[in-house]
């Protein structure tokens, strides 16, 4: 979960909002933003969930939430509302020995390789050990709206 405001200079290809990488090459979860304004959520590369293009635009704050867990179909919420998405079914979630990055990806942890930075502002990034309910997603969005006009 995070608040994100892409820069007016444009969207970068596959810029990372939140990245969780385990110490293996196959254990990761990524929430990224594409140049088309599409959100893409990856779990272990072959499992992706995508929104339509234009869901996110530049120079505006958006509250973005992905709910996912082992054996659960991931859902994407924008500004408190479930957004239609297409892609993977139930996923396997990264292990607990993972590294979390906000605004970029750390490759080959624990190495220093950082890539695919987000061009803009990110605020109030959170990762939970459980799946948020739709009511909790909406509550978090409403609680942060005043600070993110």
Distances (CA, A) of 59 to 47, 72, 87, 123: 30, 33, 28, 14
pTM (two decimals): 0.85
The more confident residue out of 137 and 110 is: 137
Residue 17: CB atoms within 10 Å: 27
> Burial of 80 by CB count in 10 Å (0-12 exposed, 13-18 middle, 19+ buried)?
middle
Q: Is the peptide bond before 109 cis (omega within 30 degrees of 0)?
A: no
Q: What does the pLDDT read at residue 22?
A: 65
Does 64 score more than 70 pLDDT?
Answer: yes
Separation between Cα atoms, residue 38 and residue 76, nearest integer Å = 11
What is the arithmetic mean of pLDDT over 123-144? 94
- Residue whose entry in the numeric block shows the structure tokens 């970068």: 12
H or E segment to which residue 135 belongs: helix 134-144
**Top mean-pLDDT range of 34-43, 49-58, 70-79, 134-143:** 134-143
SS3 (DSSP) at 146: helix
Confidence of residue 89 (pLDDT cuts 50, 70, 90): low
Q: Which of 92-96, 121-125, 133-137, 142-146 is the least confident region?
A: 92-96
């Amino acid at each position: 979960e995070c608040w994100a405001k892409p820069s007016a200079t444009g969207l970068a290809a596959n810029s990372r909002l939140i990245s969780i990488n385990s110490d293996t090459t196959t254990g990761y979860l990524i929430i990224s933003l594409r140049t088309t304004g599409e959100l893409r959520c990856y779990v272990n590369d072959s499992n992706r969930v995508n929104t339509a293009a234009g869901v996110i635009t530049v120079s505006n704050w958006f509250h973005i939430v992905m709910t996912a867990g082992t054996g659960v179909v991931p859902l994407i919420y924008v500004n408190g509302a479930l957004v239609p998405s297409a892609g993977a079914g139930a996923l396997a979630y990264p292990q607990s020995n993972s590294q979390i990055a906000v605004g970029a990806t750390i490759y080959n942890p624990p190495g220093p390789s950082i890539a695919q930075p987000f061009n803009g502002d990110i605020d109030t990034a959170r990762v939970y050990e459980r799946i948020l309910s739709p009511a909790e997603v909406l509550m978090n969005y409403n609680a942060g709206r005043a600070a993110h006009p």
